[in-house]
Amino acid sequence: MSNFDDFCNHINAFFSKYNPNFNCVKTIHDTSEYKIKEVIGYVFDDTTYNNLKVVSMDTVSQTGYGLYRNAQTKHVPNTSDAFLVDSNNIWYFIEFKHGKLNTDKNKDSINLKAAYNMIMLIDIFKNSQNNQFTLFNNDDPLEFFRNNCVYICISPTVDYGVSSQQNIIEDYVMKDRMRSYFVGQDHYTPDCLEKIKYFFYKDAYAYDPDLFVEDFLKKIVI
């Protein structure tokens, strides 16, 4: 059984006691949905990967965690959109943003979601039966996040700039616009992700949808 399957099975079993129809698995395409004035669109619409299965963190929060905590409110914690765990037990929280990342509104939203990811999962695994979920460290959960968890934002409007001390960047024109491709192993971390990267998670960085495919989906081993 893969780490991803183990995570899904554990989460589904945990919440089935409170919601018999609970299922946290969706496609990555569906978790990237956004709505503007009743018009629905998708940040990620690559037909090669549209059917890739991920954990819907919105489902975990909205139809699982709220019932588990018997919350008398519709305002459940806002989390990242999708989740994957690879064969090395590195956890990836994926946030899809239709607009620009570095707006004040999005900065606050991204940081809160990163925090809610942590709090909600720590609460779930701490209260799981006999604490037997071996993929997570209940004894030192914050250290687990710092060593194992990565936060990724996907936005069509990511501006990588031309160069930085942390990244080696080669610019080229694709689809009538300038985008950047990374050479080496560094990633682009915009200001809105720096608190997450340097204090709470193993790493945090941003992609546009094309680079997300090239530098992440084509390389990850589930």
Q: What is the pLDDT along the chain (222 residues), one digit of tens a residue?
A: 899 999 999 999 999 999 999 999 999 999 999 988 888 999 999 999 999 999 999 999 999 999 999 888 888 999 999 999 999 999 999 999 988 887 778 888 999 999 999 999 999 999 886 657 889 999 999 999 999 999 999 998 776 654 443 443 333 333 333 344 444 446 888 888 999 999 999 999 998 898 899 889 999 999
- pLDDT for 80 equals 97
- pLDDT for 100 equals 80
- pLDDT for 130 equals 60
Rounded Cα distance, 88 and 90, in Å: 6
Surface-to-core class of residue 78, CB atoms within 10 Å of its CB (0-12 exposed, 13-18 middle, 19+ buried): middle
Which contacts of 100-108 are long-range, i.e. CB under 8 A and separated by 24 or more positions? 100/155, 100/157, 101/153, 101/155, 101/157, 101/158, 101/190, 101/192, 101/193, 101/206, 102/190, 102/191, 102/192, 106/192, 107/191, 107/192
Rounded Cα distance, 32 and 62, in Å: 16
- pLDDT for 129 equals 67
Residue 65 structure tokens: 């965690």
- pLDDT for 92 equals 98
Q: Count CA atoms closer than 13 A to 108's CA, side-chain side.
A: 2
